[in-house]
Amino acid sequence: DLPGQRGFAFGPGTAPRLFAGLLVVLGLARVEDAERGFGLTGRGAELVDGTSGSIAEIVRKEWFFYRVWAELPKAIGDGHARIAPWRERLRDDPAQSLAFLRALDDLAARFGAGLPELAGLERGGRLLDVGGGAGSHSAYLEAAVPGLEATVLDLPAAEEVLRERHPELGFVAGDFDEERFGRPSGELWDHVLIANLLHDHPPQRCRELIAEAAGLLAPGGTLLIYDWVLGEDRVTPPDVAVFALMMLVENEGGGTWTEGEIRSWVEAAGLRAEPLRRDPGPIAVLRATRPG
């Protein structure tokens, strides 16, 4: 609820005045005049809804999870997540869940631009973005690869945010719990993208998801797995090791998995895996091809 980049003033000694002083200390606001009026700095303006590059949705997401982190000791003790499964969250609290998808899209806008280069797609065709939410990642790919037509598959409620954020993408309703994610028998795709999904699930479920995705590929088609991939020592890269603990709290059975683990699931699905591709960030791409 910050008042944009306009000046704002509060009476001395009031709680809002004290809060404004804190904003100045944090570099989010500046003193504008002798009457102790204030204005937001560039960093502060990023916290305002509707401004270019706003991180307001990201901050709300982190506040939601920050409160959950108070349960970390218990989660470590019993090994169980402290948040309901995504399907239940989307049903029981759609406003927060859709805000979460918007926050993920804002994060992708800041940090996801490396995906097209990591993916290295050399041809267009039809791409299915499984569980793609707002379509953040497939939007990057469609913009970068001539002739690529991306379609997001997700639960029906996610379509609202996709139409809001990336209306250029196609959308089909689907369900992880159904065979072929609910797609008809015989339907095949040139590319299938699984982006930031494996860390939400335990290993056996990851294996099953990859097998279903492989079954949707046309011969010669490409599976792209874009995720936080842990080193074989399970403590590097540091950001990925920390992220694994986040998944313990947030997703039942979730975690970060090694290249070797992901490769084994891909090969069990009958695909040929390529070497992992990393950029300077914590997320990597493993590509695999269906023979034929």
CA-to-CA distance for 221 and 32, rounded, in angstroms?
Answer: 59
Residue 3 has pLDDT above 70, yes or no: no
Tokens 């072929």 belong to residue: 180
CA-to-CA distance for 210 and 269, rounded, in angstroms?
Answer: 7
**How many DSSP H helices and E strands does the chain contain?**
12, 12
| Whole-number pLDDT of residue 243 | 96
Residue 206 has pLDDT above 70, yes or no: yes
CA-to-CA distance for 106 and 24, rounded, in angstroms?
Answer: 25
pLDDT per residue over 138-192, tens digit each?
999 999 999 999 999 999 999 999 999 999 999 999 999 999 999 999 999 999 9
Domain residue ranges in the chain: 8-54, 75-289
What share of the chain has pLDDT > 70, as a percent? 95
pLDDT per residue over 276-285, tens digit each?
999 888 899 9
What average pLDDT score do residues 258-266 get?
98
CATH of domain 75-289: 3.40.50.150
